């Protein structure tokens, strides 16, 4: 292994030997990311109906299933229907704090075995038990921290009460979101990312952000599209109006 100083030093010597191929600059970042996000949100205040239509169009093109409900307390009924249609009943979901509502009771009333993820820190045996539960669950219910209309993408921040595996291990992923997380373009998503990282301690309690654009897919065998290789075979988006 090479020491850091020696490694970087060599790179510095090599870069200083040449001015490069042409004068070039990196992308210009928003000076005040929070204010830039505010501007995006203000635009969306009027345009959100078009944006969510675009999201739906793109999401469905990726074989995503789009649902609309007026209120959060109607989410369990949608999940219940998805479960019954697929003859499954084991559900894991983000914690009540992470989802912004306690879905556990509602999901149980739908006849589902629902396990919300814990908000606090748990011991190793409990972590192992939850992991086994997650691996066996058929449906994972999460929130979404960003929805990008032009690509039909959902972005999820990991952290307290919001494990990475909830949207990964089950066959069916259900993400619940509302217009507050909606942006129109990938470029705008970049502004949101800048804002999150400007204050990471406030915005993110975990180490991973995952952008999800449709179900898990592969074309590795004769370029034939096949869904659900490792991640979910179906992704559902429930939009709360």
Partner 1 sequence: MSESASTSFPQRAARAIKDEFLQQALAIATTRFVNSRNEVFQAFPQGEALRDRARQIKEAVLQRLDHYLEQLTDNVERLGGHVHFATTAEEARGIILSIARENRVELVVKGKSMAAEEIDLNEALEHAGIRVAETDLGEYIIQLAHEKPSHIIAPAIHKTKAQIADVFAKELRHQVAADPEVITRLARGALRDKFLQADMGISGANFAVASTGTVVLVTNEGNGRMVTSLPRVHVALMGVEKVIPSMTDLVVFLQILARSATGQKLSAYTTLVRGPRQAAELDGPQEFHLVLMDNGRVKQLAGPLREALYCLRCGACLNVCPVYRQIGGHAYGDTYPGPIGILMTAMLRGNGAVKDLAHASSLCGACAEVCPVRIDIPRMLIELREHLDREKIAPWPERVIFKTYARLLGRPALYRLAGPVSRLMQRPFVRQGRIRSLPLLFRKWTATRDLPPVAPRTFRERWGELERER
202 binds partner 1 (CB under 8 A): no
DSSP state letter for 29: P
65 binds partner 1 (CB under 8 A): no
131 binds partner 1 (CB under 8 A): yes
143 binds partner 1 (CB under 8 A): no
133 binds partner 1 (CB under 8 A): no
113 binds partner 1 (CB under 8 A): no
* Chosen residue from 80, 205, 234, 241 binding partner 1 by CB under 8 A: 205
CB of 74 to partner 1, least distance (A): 27
Measured CA to CA, the distance from residue 156 to residue 237 in angstroms comes to 13
DSSP state letter for 167: G
* Chosen residue from 12, 31, 70, 85 binding partner 1 by CB under 8 A: 12
Tokens of 190: 């970049």
142 binds partner 1 (CB under 8 A): no
88 binds partner 1 (CB under 8 A): no
* Chosen residue from 60, 113, 150, 178 binding partner 1 by CB under 8 A: 150
Cα–Cα separations (whole angstroms), residue 151 to 53, 100, 155 = 12, 25, 11
DSSP annotation string for 226-239: EE-SSS-SEEEEEE
Give the interface segment with partner 1, choosing from 42-50, 72-80, 107-115, 182-190 (CB under 8 A): 182-190
DSSP annotation string for 70-109: SSGGGHHHHHHHHHHHTT--EEEE--HHHHTS--HHHHHH
Residue 15: phi and psi, rounded to 5, are: -65, -30
CB of 69 to partner 1, least distance (A): 25
154 neighbors 144 (Cβ within 8 angstroms): yes
Sign of CA dihedral 115, 120, 121, 122: negative
Nearer residue to partner 1 within complex by CB, 104 or 232? 232
34 binds partner 1 (CB under 8 A): no
* Chosen residue from 215, 236, 239, 240 binding partner 1 by CB under 8 A: 215
* Chosen residue from 172, 210, 238, 239 binding partner 1 by CB under 8 A: 210
């Amino acid at each position: 292994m090479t020491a850091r100083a020696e490694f970087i030093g060599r790179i510095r010597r090599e870069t200083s030997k040449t001015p490069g191929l042409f004068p070039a600059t990196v992308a210009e970042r928003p000076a005040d990311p929070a204010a830039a996000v505010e501007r995006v949100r203000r635009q969306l205040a009027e345009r959100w109906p078009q944006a969510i239509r675009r999201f739906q169009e793109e999401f469905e093109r990726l074989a995503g299933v789009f649902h609309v409900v007026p209120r959060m307390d109607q989410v369990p009924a949608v999940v219940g229907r998805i479960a019954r249609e697929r003859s499954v009943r084991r559900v894991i979901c983000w914690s009540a704090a992470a989802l912004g509502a306690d879905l556990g009771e509602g999901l149980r009333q739908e006849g589902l075995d629902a396990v919300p993820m814990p908000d606090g820190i748990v011991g190793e045996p409990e972590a192992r038990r939850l992991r086994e539960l997650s691996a066996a669950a058929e449906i994972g219910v999460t929130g979404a921290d960003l929805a990008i209309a032009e690509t039909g993408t959902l972005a999820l921040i990991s952290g307290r009460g919001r494990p990475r595996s909830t949207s990964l291990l089950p066959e069916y992923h259900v993400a619940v979101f509302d217009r507050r997380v909606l942006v129109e373009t990938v470029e705008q998503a970049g502004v949101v990312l800048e804002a999150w990282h400007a204050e990471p301690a406030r915005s993110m309690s975990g180490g991973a952000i995952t952008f999800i654009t449709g179900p898990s897919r592969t074309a590795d065998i004769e370029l034939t599209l096949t869904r659900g290789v490792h991640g979910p075979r179906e992704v559902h988006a429930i939009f709360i109006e």
